[in-house]
Chain A
Amino acid sequence: MAKITKSPWLLHYDGSSCNGCDIEVLACLTPVYDVERFGIINTGNPKHADIFLVTGGINEKNKAVVKQLYDQMPEPKVVVAVGICACNGGVFKDAYNIIGGVDKAIPVDVYVPGCAARPEAIIDGVVKALGVLDEKQKAFKEAKKKKGAEK
């Protein structure tokens, strides 16, 4: 990623995590780590969001909520799985109702391991997500142009 082409807004949702990664996600937004310097803010509204940060291994009840939030986000969108539980279920992998990772529910673009994932790692993941977002945006525009030409 050479430069940031837009101010990406992010949506954070706790997909059955232990709250450890969630407070680290919030810590990213506060003065010491301050992702706002990249123009990133945490929005509570999925319809405004470009990047979806999900923590935790997702349980059966939460699966539908995560899917719904993902569907409500406009294209192009990027999903970042934060923490080892979000990557593969982590310490709760053997629990009876954990589906074992965010990618079992929705497509994931960037994986950030760690227990709890450190703010530096989360920011790195978000910056990687920005690169993916740029590519998706390009592909999205081309597809649109192609569609226009066909008409």
Chain B
Amino acid sequence: MSKRSIVPFGPQHPVLPEPIHLDLVLEDEKVVEAIPSIGFIHRGLEKLVEKRNFHDYMYVIERIMDVEIPDRAKYLRTIWCEMSRLHSHLLWLGLLADAFGFESLFMHCWRMRETILDMFEASTGGRVIFSVNKIGGVLKDMDNSMLRTFVDMFDKMEEEVRQLTNVFLKDYTVANRLKGVGILTKEDAVLYGAVGPMMRAAGIESDTRKLGYAAYGDIDFDIITGKDCDSFSRCEVRINEIFQSFNIIRQAVAKIPEGPVSVDVKGNPNGEAFVRLEQPRGEAIFYFRGNGTQFLNRARVRTPTFANIPSLVKILEGCDFADVPILVLTIDPCVSCTER
């Protein structure tokens, strides 16, 4: 047995937009064990609810207060959710390309993502933080001409995205870096509680959107799964989800009913609610408890990245040292979300 050495990875690392620290135990060029440590961006959001007004947290409060929001607002939320998924997956594809050194591919992914951000800006006013939801509905309506324009733009974009994703799926340099790397078997995915594309790439059919929150109940879509359980499979699942999102948006625009976009809500939340949502990175869980005042008693948020860290540690065991940045990226880490 060769000598073991420990290489620190992060918190500041060129491949990471956010700080996470891993102690990599190496034997020559092989990683034997990875020990993660987080906390660099912990802000104490769950404690902050005791100091900040409850109006900052929408859907869960609506569940506590038993508010039924108008149908049009549900559809608008669905459309914005899917647009978020589109831009998030394009962002991830770009970061992945950057991690294996394909700079021009990274630039093209992010160029396309900007179109979606422009749409966000036109419809909500913000590029990253939208502040468009409120308790009882949404603050801004998208009129039908805007929705039609968006669908036209998505039609054009779909063709461009297809050309782009062909590079990921057919280029041999990409395949060489991703195929057979970072295998998380179906059994391990269950054991380590993987969520989102990470889990679906291991062949498990599960998608929280199928619970039918917002307008997802009225929309026809299949759960996308992969079968090879490796990094390439995770890339493939996310690419297919991009095209699925285009489809969902088209269906939602075709079916969106007329009507108001919000209802008035009076009073303070009293009681508790537990909500599961499918974010681009996987299933997120929210739990809030109100006590009848304008401040909440308890909040709990479990984000998909947090659920995927055990799987990450698992796939890092036995991998090549040079593959570590790519494997860290394949879980689509959002460390800021994880640490709240």
Q: Does A98 contact B (CB under 8 A)?
A: yes
Min CB distance B117 to A, Å, is 8
Min CB distance A127 to B, Å, is 20
Whether the pair A116, B127 counts as a contact (CB closer than 8 A) is yes
Q: Mark A94-113, 1 if CB is under 8 A from B, else 0.
A: 11111000000000000000
Q: A18-B336, A23-B17, A44-B14 are in contact. Are A96 and B107 (CB under 8 A)?
A: no
Q: Does A22 contact B (CB under 8 A)?
A: yes
Q: In the assembled complex, which residues on chain A have CB atoms less than 8 Å from the CB atom of B271?
A: none
Whether the pair B47, A14 counts as a contact (CB closer than 8 A) is no
Query: Binding site of B, secondary structure by majority: helix, strand, loop or mixed?
Result: loop
Q: In the assembled complex, which residues on chain A have CB atoms less than 8 Å from the CB atom of B126?
A: 116
CA distance A17 to B43 in the complex (A): 8
Residue of B with least CB distance to A119: B127
Q: In the assembled complex, which residues on chain B have CB atoms less than 8 Å from the CB atom of A13?
A: 12, 19
Q: Does B41 contact A (CB under 8 A)?
A: yes
What bracket does the count of chain A residues touching chain B fall in? 35 or more
Q: A19-B337, A46-B12, A94-B48 are in contact. Are A26 and B40 (CB under 8 A)?
A: no
Q: In the assembled complex, which residues on chain A have CB atoms less than 8 Å from the CB atom of B70?
A: none
Size of the chain B interface, CB-CB below 8 angstroms? 36
CA distance A20 to B126 in the complex (A): 11
Whether the pair B114, A27 counts as a contact (CB closer than 8 A) is yes
Whether the pair A96, B40 counts as a contact (CB closer than 8 A) is no
Whether the pair B14, A94 counts as a contact (CB closer than 8 A) is no
Q: A65-B11, A92-B48 are in contact. Are A20 and B129 (CB under 8 A)?
A: yes
Q: Does A125 contact B (CB under 8 A)?
A: no
Whether the pair B43, A98 counts as a contact (CB closer than 8 A) is yes
Q: Does A32 contact B (CB under 8 A)?
A: yes
Min CB distance B71 to A, Å, is 30
Q: In the assembled complex, which residues on chain B have CB atoms less than 8 Å from the CB atom of A45?
A: 14
Min CB distance A78 to B, Å, is 18
Whether the pair B40, A62 counts as a contact (CB closer than 8 A) is yes
Whether the pair A65, B336 counts as a contact (CB closer than 8 A) is no
Q: Does A115 contact B (CB under 8 A)?
A: yes
A22's partner among B17, B42, B107, B129 (CB-CB below 8 A) is: B17
Q: Does A137 contact B (CB under 8 A)?
A: no
B111's partner among A18, A31, A59, A95 (CB-CB below 8 A) is: A31
Whether the pair B51, A19 counts as a contact (CB closer than 8 A) is no
Q: In the assembled complex, which residues on chain B have CB atoms less than 8 Å from the CB atom of A30?
A: 94, 106-107, 110-111, 114
Sample of 9 further A-B pairs with CB below 8 A, known A13-B19, A27-B114: A13-B12, A22-B17, A30-B106, A30-B110, A31-B110, A62-B40, A65-B11, A96-B44, A116-B129
> Can you list 19 A-B contacts with CB-CB less than 8 angstroms, sorted by A residue number?
A13-B12, A13-B19, A14-B18, A14-B41, A16-B42, A17-B41, A21-B128, A27-B110, A31-B107, A32-B111, A45-B14, A56-B41, A61-B42, A65-B19, A92-B43, A95-B44, A95-B45, A116-B126, A116-B127
